[in-house]
Chain A
Amino acid sequence: MKVDDAVPNEFSYPGLGEIFITNTRKFINKVLSWGRANSLWPLTFGTSCCAIEMMVYGATKVDADRLGNLFIGDSPRQADMIFVSGTITKKMARRLLTVYQQMPAPKYVVAVGACNISGGLFWDSYNVIDGIDRIMPVDVYIPGCPPRPEQFLDAVKVLQKLINENKTRGGVYGPREI
Chain B
Amino acid sequence: MDLERFRERFGDKVKIDKNILTLADKKDLIRVVKFVSKYFDVLYMLIVVHRPPKFELNYIFSRYQDQEIIQIKVEISDKENIASISNIFKSAEWEEREAYDMFGIVFRDHPDLRRILLPEDWPGHPMRKDFVVTEEIKHWTGLDLKF
Contacts and interface: CB of A to CB of B under 8 A. Distances in A.
Chain A interface mostly: loop
A93 B142 contact: yes
A127 B101 CA distance: 13
A126 B139 contact: no
A94 B147 contact: no
A126 B143 contact: no
Contacts of B122: 90
Given A91-B118, A127-B118, A135 B141 contact: yes
Chain B interface mostly: loop
A127 B139 CA distance: 9
A39 B138 CA distance: 38
A90 B147 contact: no
Interface in A91-127: 91, 93-94, 97, 124-127
Interface residue range, chain B: 10 to 19
Contacts of B142: 90, 93-94
Interface string B118-137: 11001000100001010001
Contacts of A93: 141-143
A137 B147 contact: yes
A53 to B, nearest CB: 26
Nearest to B132: A126
B147 A91 contact: no
A139 interface: no
B137 A126 contact: yes
B147 A172 contact: yes
Interface of B: 117-119, 122, 126, 131, 133, 137-143, 145, 147
Nearest first, the 3 closest Cβ-Cβ pairs linking A and B are A91-B119, A126-B126, A126-B133
17 contacts: A90-B118, A90-B119, A90-B141, A90-B142, A91-B118, A91-B119, A93-B143, A97-B145, A124-B133, A126-B126, A126-B133, A126-B138, A127-B118, A127-B126, A130-B139, A135-B143, A135-B145
